[in-house]
Each structure stands twice: as C-alpha cells, then as structure tokens.
Amino acid sequence: MSSLRSICQTLAIAAACAFMTAPLAAHAEDKPKAPRAEKAGKHHHDKGEFPMDSTKFNEIVEKKIDLARAQMELLITANSLPDSVKTQIRKDFDTAAAKIRTAAKEAGKDGKVTKDEAKDVRHQAKVFVKQLREKYGKDKDDDKRGGKHHDKDD
C-alpha cells in the first residue's frame, strides 16, 4: 500500500511540474524582445534634443508655465483664501514667470539652447517655486499650527 502511495505522490509532483513549466516555456517563445532603440522613441515627453532651437525651447517653457498657472489656479480656487491673498499669489506667480521667460530668452539669444543653459533655466524655475512655496505653501501653514516638523533632533 505504501508503494502505491509513493508512486501516486511521485506522479502527482511530476504532473504539477509539467503543468507549471509548460506555460512558461510557451510564453518565452511567443514574442521576441524589441530592440531598445525602438522602445526609447515611444516616450519622448517633449524634452527635445540639445542643442535646441530657441523658439522651440521658448514654446516648451511657455507650455510649462501655462500648466503651472492652471495648477496654481486650481489650488487657489480649491482653498478658501481672501481675494487680496489670491491677487498677491497671482502677482508673485506672474513676476516669477516673467523672470523665467527672461532667463529662457537669455539662454536662446544665440539661436540655440544647450543642455547646460536649459539646466540653468530649470534651476531658476525651481528656485522661484521654492520661494513661492515657502511664502504661501503648506510648510508655512504646518508651522503655524505646530504641525509637521521634520527635525531629526526630536
């Protein structure tokens, strides 16, 4: 009786292994891998190749400013802020956007924008975003309420 049990167990294990490996082997043969170069062209995200034409770079900067403005307007309307604060936020945003546009035009004054010049413009934009967030952002509200502090000393 025990020999019949061991034979059945062995056959069951062999059948289970065969059923598990068959789909894996069939799946491996289905599609060959695509070359890496073709895959890279799919998701370009409008970053462009450098050196880039200054007009194209300015269009990209304008598009990003418009997206940031839409996000800012969404946040302003979602929060109940006084009209004077909303006006000041818009004014500060417009000032920062003008400085970013000036930096983008300065980067493209020779007709081409290099990768380093684009990085400088992006860095200036990040500095303006950080300044506006410090002035109006969540961090200021959290400090007023005694909320989130990220000090490691506590």
Domain annotation covers residue 42: no
**CB 112, CB 51: distance < 8 Å:** yes
**CB 121, CB 100: distance < 8 Å:** yes
CA distances from 101 to 18, 19, 31, 150 (A): 65, 63, 48, 34
Domain annotation covers residue 64: yes
Domain annotation covers residue 18: no
Read off the pLDDT of residues 43-87 as tens digits, 9 standing for 90 and up. 555 566 889 999 999 999 999 999 999 999 998 888 888 999 999
Number of domains within the chain: 1
Domain annotation covers residue 116: yes
The pLDDT assigned to 38 comes to: 45
Domain annotation covers residue 25: no
Please tell me which residue, 89 or 37, carries the higher pLDDT value: 89
Instruction: Return the amino acid letter for 1.
Output: M
Which residue in the block uniquely carries the two structure tokens 């930096």?
Answer: 103
Structural domain of residue 57, as residue ranges?
Answer: 52-144
The pLDDT assigned to 46 comes to: 55
Domain annotation covers residue 10: no
Read off the pLDDT of residues 115-140 as tens digits, 9 standing for 90 and up. 999 999 999 999 999 999 999 876 55
